[in-house]
Amino acid sequence: MSKVKPNTKEQTIDYLIRYLSLGTYDKKFLTNLLQLNVAQRKPVTTNQAELLDKILVRYHRQLAKKEIDSKELINLLWTLPPIESSPQYTQAHVSLEGDEIILRTPYKKEFVKQIKEIQYLKWNRDDKLWSAPKAEFILKKIINLTDEHFNNVNFCSEIKTIIDNLYVYETAKFWNPTLTRINGNLYIVAANAEVMDAISFITLDTTPSTLARLTRMGIIIDPELVDESMNDVISGDVTIDNFSIETIINFLLLIKADLVVLTEWFMKNKDFVMELANNLKANNIKVKVLRGKILTTDKEQYVDYRKYEMPVNINVGMLKYNHDSVPFLAKNIFLANSTTTKNFINERM
């Protein structure tokens, strides 16, 4: 049977189904178009027409093997011109309903991937919508994400009022608690009473130990106050390359670490770990050595980081941890070349 080259978009749908090896979702979509629209002589929507063009681009190699240019198929006309898609299926809709934030959007793969990362947001399969408890931080993330992915975002009147009320702050430089300098004096701006009470014992200055403590408390440091040399001081996760025990100790003294936990050590790096631990003790820095992971249910190895002002973990193994994953940990230091400690010790001698 000869394969007749399509002359219309409707014929293109039939051709793709008959002669191409399609993915499951593409085949289902095209079959539905063929049965529910083409066969019943109903026009497709502009949204469906746009998706068909994207499918043609995706299968351009298969079409080329059949001596058909996908661009020619894209430029074909519909026998029945597409009708404009309803805003319900092309635009995002965000509303406040009772105690929930309700989000309805057309499907976009990258958007769905990112929206799933918002805490407390859940997908309702039956109603085909996202919902989350009414909270400012959730609403802020939803507004930012929908604005990034959709040209048109529809907000309910209540959300519009919230946005209008916040418009006067659009040019505000700081939105989170931040250490900055104003008229020559240091201030914590964009902070509430609870934050200020929690840091009341800290004298504001730009010494490494103060900056490290403020960072641990969730305070952002204004970039104008520091340069690149302070990145490790104000970061929760630190990677040290080409390290030496001396440089490690100096950094810990700089930030005034009052507890150092050594984790992920094994027999092959035992000598190095013990030497590092002895040097820590010699510099009056409390040290605890854990053979396994930093997170442990072993009562003998459990560490209550709340008892310390600047508790630091030094990972001397290969696994990396994020300091945010360990409650109350100030810093997590990863020694990038820790597997070569034997060579390091030899060079140091």
Reply yes or no on whether the pLDDT at 215 is more than 80: yes
The Cα 329–Cα 322 span in angstroms is 10
Mean pLDDT of 86-107: 86
Neighbouring residues of 185: CB distance < 8 A, sequence distance ≥ 6? none
What is the number of other CB atoms lying within 10 angstroms of the CB of residue 281? 12
More confident residue, 223 or 45: 223
In this structure, which amino acid lies at residue 251?
Answer: F
HSE, side-chain direction, 13 A CA sphere, residue 204: 17
Q: What pairing do the DSSP bridges indicate for beta strands 100-104 and 92-97?
A: antiparallel
pLDDT mean over 15-22: 93
- Ranges of H-type helices in 98-230: 109-115, 136-149, 157-166, 193-198, 208-216
In the numeric block, the tokens 């996908």 are attached to: 70
Q: How confident is the model at residue 299 (pLDDT cuts 50, 70, 90)?
A: low
Closest CA to 261 of 216, 305, 320, 214: 305
Question: 3-class DSSP state for residue 248?
Answer: helix
CA dist., res. 31 & res. 346, Å (int): 69
Q: Residue written as tokens 């605890």?
A: 288
Residue 215 near residue 331, CB atoms below 8 Å: no
- Angstrom CA distances, 82 to 49, 187, 196, 312, 336, stand at 7, 60, 60, 62, 58
Q: What average pLDDT does the segment 200-210 reach?
A: 95
**Is residue 282 exposed (0-12), middle (13-18) or buried (19+ Cβ within 10 Å)?**
exposed
| Residue 222, pLDDT above cutoff 90 | yes
Global pTM reads: 0.53
CA dist., res. 141 & res. 273, Å (int) = 43
The residues of the chain that CATH labels 3.40.50.11840 are 236-348
Beta-bridge partners for 261: 288, 313
**Mean pLDDT (the chain, rounded):** 86
pLDDT in tens, 123-169: 998 888 999 999 988 998 999 999 898 888 999 999 999 888 877 77
Instruction: Find out whether 33 and 44 touch, Cβ atoms under 8 Å.
Output: yes
Q: Answer yes or no: is pLDDT of 217 > 60.
A: yes
* Max avg pLDDT among 127-141, 167-181, 299-313: 127-141
Q: Which CATH number describes the domain made up of 236-348?
A: 3.40.50.11840
Specify whether the CB–CB gap between 98 and 104 falls below 8 A: no
Q: At 17, list the tokens.
A: 């189904």
- pLDDT of 59 reads 94
Contact (Cβ atoms closer than 8 angstroms) between residue 312 and residue 259: yes
